[in-house]
Structure 1
Amino acid sequence: MGIVKISEQMHENLRLTSGALSRSINAQAEHWLRVGMLAELNPKLCYGEICQLLIQAEQQAAAETSAFLAVSAAAA
């Protein structure tokens, strides 16, 4: 984990948006970072499609964790 310096205006935007969307300031910043990174890597996708990619990645990670825990429990 590192420290990232941002402008006062960006921090204010994060503070306002995080409050409106019931996220912590760090969670809001991380969301914008992920969305921005995916937008740069996939310039033809709209915001909704990018959010779908994030949801699919989360579902895949959850499924992989469940499978790992099942195998670990069976081995124990």
Structure 2
Amino acid sequence: MGIVKIDDDLHEEARRASAVMCRSINAQAEFWMKVGMLAEANPTLSFNDIVKMQFTAAKVQVPDLAVA
């Protein structure tokens, strides 16, 4: 655990996003960092692909709402 210095504007965006997503500011920043790291390591995957893979890895059952 440590301190990460970020731009004041980015901190404000994380604060706003955290309220929408019902996360703490730290949890929002951690989410963005994790998704960003995974996106850099897997540039062909979309955001939705990354989130779906994270749900699968955590064994979260997400219903498929796609209409056939």
TM-score by length of 1: 0.74
More helix by share: 1
2:35 maps to 35
Aligned length: 60
Q: Percent identity?
A: 50
2:63 maps to none
Flag the structure with larger Rg. 1
Structure 1 residue ranges (4+ consecutive) displaced by more than 3 angstroms after TM superposition: none
Unaligned ranges ≥5, structure 1: 61-76
RMSD over aligned CA atoms reads: 1.3
Unaligned ranges ≥5, structure 2: 61-68
2:57 maps to 57
CA distance in 2, matches of 1:48, 1:31: 14
**Partner deviation per Cα, 1:26-49 (whole Å, 9 max, x = no partner):** 110111011000000000000100
For residues 1-76 of structure 1, what are the structure 2 equivalents within 5 Å? Answer: 1-59=1-59
